[in-house]
Copies of this chain bind each other. A is one copy, B any other.
Amino acid sequence: MNNFEFKNPTKVIFGKDTIAKLSEEIPADAKVLLLYGGGSIKKNGIYDQVKTALSNVNVTEFGGIPANPEYAVLMEALKVIKDKEITYLLAVGGGSVIDGTKFLSAAALYDGDTPWDILTQNIKTEKGMPFGTVLTLPATGSEMNSGSVITRKETQEKLAMGGPGLFPVFSILDPQVITSIPERQLANGLTDAFTHVLEQYMTYPIGARLQDRFAESILQTLIEVAPNVIKDPTDYKAAADFMWSCTMALNGLIQKGVPTDWAVHAIGHELTAMFGIDHARTLAVIAPSHYKFNFEAKKEKLAQYAERVWNVTEGSIDDKAYAAIEKTEAFFKELGIDTKLSDYTGDYEGTAEKISKRFTDRGWEGLGEHQSLTPDNVEKIVKMAY
């Protein structure tokens, strides 16, 4: 096991009808900015629950944060924070709203030239404006971690940020929220969480037995509950397992002490930036090609995953490892998630070269658990995903 440090101070409030607990978590004298997305929370009743819980608190609202939270929109929200002297942020939404809120938490207290620096200069936020979340879409794990990914349309960029000051103070997770989520989004959430685990697990064996088993536990749970989540989101047991699995998939725990990959995300982000493909779907496009391309380096863990998660007991290491990739791709497809770039756009020629060049232009640091993938490797992986 590698040395590691782990600290996650977010208070999780999990379960049925927990949104009412908001009133206990936000200081009575706070000046709150309530942030949300396209307005679905006004149709599904979550907005009303939040407003009722906050009836005695000073609340300003800022809606319209888009999927892949957009820098220009967030800068408008930042202006509201300054103008209204906001002291507390509340994200009501999925990963995009929460990620956008993290950016605002950092930007609100940033005293450099422009908040864009936080993203381009990789500034770790030690202290942000306090914020809580009410999660409306299980997927990204952003509700219990300190990371965020922000998009800037102007430059077609999607950049990561974070820091120990950006954990939510609290996150309310009521699994009942999934009853109003469209099937497409539920499939995205399952795929996103599943791939988060793979990025922290599908590397090479270093004998961190507990982390491996925790990762496998999340994968097994997602596989088991996926059909019910899609077919009947009112199945509370399945919804609760789904929601908690998504959170545990990316709250830092399973990545501690082990090598991690994250190349699938790095490449996938470019596909979202270039084509607007849903984040989760870009992961399903890149992951199988990535594992095939890096087969030799990853086959031991692939075989372990085949055995423990997919119950593949026959065959050689290579056979099992290959079966694992096939099972994974089949799982995505059963969720209705296409796994080839050409399923999403006819205009894919030249994409591989373009992505490779982008990485090079930004200063190549190498991708994957060994930081050994070259721009040429990335080009080949993307081409395999056409």
Contact = CB atoms under 8 A, between A and B. Distances in A.
Contacts of A237: 1, 207
Contact of A1 (B12, B244, B257): B244
A67 B6 CA distance: 28
B8 A8 contact: yes
Given A217-B210, A221-B210, A241-B207, A12 B3 contact: no
Interface stretch (A13-21, A103-111, A292-300): A13-21
A226 to B, nearest CB: 12
Copies of this chain, complex-wide, total 2
Interface in A194-250: 207-210, 213-214, 216-218, 220-221, 224-225, 237, 240-241, 244-245, 248
A213 B237 CA distance: 15
A209 B241 contact: yes
User: 7 shortest A-B CB distances, which residue pairs?
Assistant: A3-B15, A213-B217, A7-B11, A9-B9, A1-B240, A6-B12, A207-B237
11 contacts: A1-B175, A1-B240, A2-B15, A3-B16, A5-B14, A7-B12, A8-B8, A15-B257, A209-B220, A209-B225, A217-B217
Interface of A: 1-16, 18, 175, 207-210, 213-214, 216-218, 220-221, 224-225, 237, 240-241, 244-245, 248, 256-257
